[in-house]
Amino acid sequence: MIERLPSGNARLDEILNGGLLKNAINLIVGVPGSGKTILSQQFAFRNATAEQPALYLSTLSEPLDKILRFGETLDVFDHEAVREGRVIYEDLGQVLGDDGLDNILTAIDGYLKDLRPGIVVIDSFRAFHAVASDTTAFRRFLYGLTRLLSASATTAVWNAPYNRDQALDAAEFAVADSIIALDVGEHAYRITQAGFEVFPRLADVYDGSGYELSSERSPTGIEALDQVLGKGGYWSGAATMVAGPSGIGKTLMGLHFLFRGAEMGEPGILATFQENETQLKRVAESFGWKLDGSDVHILSRSVVDIYIDEWVYQLLDLIEKTKARRIVIDSLPDVMTAAADPTRFREWMFSLTQRLERAGISMMMIVEVPELFQLRRISEQGLSHLAATVVLLQYVQEGPELARALTVLKTRAMHHHPVVHRYEITEKGFVLGDVLSLTR
């Protein structure tokens, strides 16, 4: 097994198969500002020990004081590690400026012998290109350096401030054992004070292996809906879709699902883009529920500042932390807006649904539709097939009055003859009324 040096960030290490390749050359490629310096410092601090310190070499293109000034603002930066010599910063800029590449080799050779570092970062490699008289001289330097590094059994990190195309042409690309590209690509990441955080793309491949879809039906806790569904309630552990126009009661239905679920011993999460906690508290209180200290948890984000990949993981983390059995997403169109890309959105929803279903967690997906009356199709971005139960809420005009109506469009693959029931929202919850005949 090839040994790896971890970054300390579980998700990043996961997509790097454990971290940097040990005793090898790891190239970090990315345009200026993409986070190479932070990522490499994170690796340095995480892996530095008294016996095998981390050596951080700056060059002309990344002056040492700039690296330090910025590095010190990060949580990973450990002053004690620097004071005690576990992490050592050195400036190659001077050597490079005066004497060129040959003396760089001599200087690095000296550091390797004196300090015996377990990890050596060069930030950045571009400066070496600039001082090389021609490509032959650069290649000679490159092989000399590779020899030195492999002889001393150290893990090298070379930061290369190139874009994808430039990186392919760079000679160091050919000698690198591993390449980490910081780019607009597979996995989203964010640089914060906590360091380099990555959100692995949630695109689970379709998992064909069979799993027990719960054949259990249990009450949703929404009386009107349970009555219409009959036979004990909804398919728990599966997804339910609730669609309807604004103000019809979708969010309330979600809250009933969660608070009644909590009363039955199933913790829940409302993942919402619609209301904040204060607003939700007020609504909950009108039904006699308390948010604080309850087993209903709120993940409230605004669609404008949401970072979809980060949000997915916040949700998954919260599910793990709260041991949630019921999740309400309010609403799918908001997630769609945040995802910006329909393919990513579908991929994301598919993965999430599959994960939750396998874990036996019930999800209610709320969809807001623009039509107030006589809805015939749900514009749900082709996701209703993910739901075992689809519930439609709509307004019906009865003379001068506007009534609310509820229809179950399908339960588990079976579409059945839809019956339209009137319902009312009272302080007791959703109260079922007569069957309405919608002949128009």
Site residues (vs Mg ion, CB under 5 A) = 251, 274
Q: How far is the CB of 254 from Mg ion (least distance, A)?
A: 8
Name which of 110, 167, 170, 164 is nearest 138 in CA terms. 170
Kindly report each contact of residues 429-432 with a partner whose C-beta sits within 8 Å and lies 24 or more positions away, as own/partner. Answer: 429/222, 429/223, 429/224, 429/256, 429/287, 430/222, 430/223, 430/224, 430/225, 430/249, 430/252, 430/253, 430/256, 430/406, 431/223, 431/224, 432/223, 432/224, 432/227, 432/228, 432/406
Among 33, 85, 185, 247, the residue binding ligand ADP under the rule CB under 6 A is 247
- Is 287 a binding residue for ligand ADP by CB under 6 A? The answer is yes
CA distances from 197 to 35, 48, 102, 309 (A): 10, 20, 37, 11
To ligand ADP, the closest distance from the beta carbon of 366 in angstroms equals 7
**Interaction of residue 276 with ligand ADP, rule CB under 6 A:** no
- Using CB under 6 A as the binding rule, whether residue 195 contacts ligand ADP is answered as no
Three-state secondary structure call for residue 29: strand
The residue (of 274 and 362) whose beta carbon lies closer to Mg ion is 274
Q: Taking CB under 6 A as the rule, does residue 373 contact ligand ADP?
A: no
CA distance 175 to 146: 8
Please state the closest distance from residue 383 (CB atom) to ligand ADP, in A. 18
User: Which token pair is 289?
Assistant: 């529920």
Distances (CA, A) of 176 to 13, 150, 158: 19, 12, 9
Please say which residue, 16 or 405, places its beta carbon nearer to ligand ADP: 405
Asked if residue 401 binds ligand ADP (CB under 6 A), the reply is no
219, burial (CB in 10 Å: exposed 0-12, middle 13-18, buried 19+): middle
Query: Smaller CB distance to Mg ion: residue 88 or 241?
Result: 241
Closer residue to Mg ion, CB minimum distance, 7 or 251? 251
Q: How many residues does the chain have?
A: 440
**Partner whose footprint covers residue 258, from Mg ion, ligand ADP, none (CB < 5 to 8 Å by kind):** none
Binder to ligand ADP among 47, 154, 251, 394 (CB under 6 A)? Answer: 251
Residue placing its CB nearer to Mg ion in the complex, 53 or 333: 333
**Block residue for tokens 């090898």:** 24
Give the interface segment with ligand ADP, choosing from 24-32, 105-113, 203-211, 424-432 (CB under 6 A). Answer: 424-432
Closest listed residue to residue 412, CA positions, set 234, 244, 232: 234
- Nearer Cβ to ligand ADP, position 426 or 437? 426
Smallest gap from Cβ 398 to Mg ion, in A, equals 23
Which residue's CB is nearer to Mg ion, number 71 or number 244?
A: 244
82 binds ligand ADP (CB under 6 A): no
Find which of Mg ion, ligand ADP, none residue 85 binds, CB within 5 to 8 Å per kind: none
Q: How far apart are the first and last CA of the chain?
A: 70
Distance CA 166, CA 140 (A): 20
CB closer to ligand ADP, 264 vs 402: 402
For ligand ADP, which residue of 370, 427, 437, 439 counts as binding (CB under 6 A)? 427
233 in contact with ligand ADP (CB under 6 A): no
In terms of Cβ atoms closer than 10 Å to its own Cβ (0-12, 13-18, 19+), residue 213 is: middle
Burial of 172 (0-12, 13-18, 19+ CB in 10 A): buried
The span of 7-15, 55-63, 83-91, 421-429 binding ligand ADP (CB under 6 A) equals 421-429
150 binds, among Mg ion, ligand ADP, none (CB under 5 to 8 A by kind): none
Residues 210 and 62: their CA atoms lie apart, in Å, by 53
Which positions lie near ligand ADP, rule CB under 6 A? 244, 246-252, 283, 286-287, 425-427
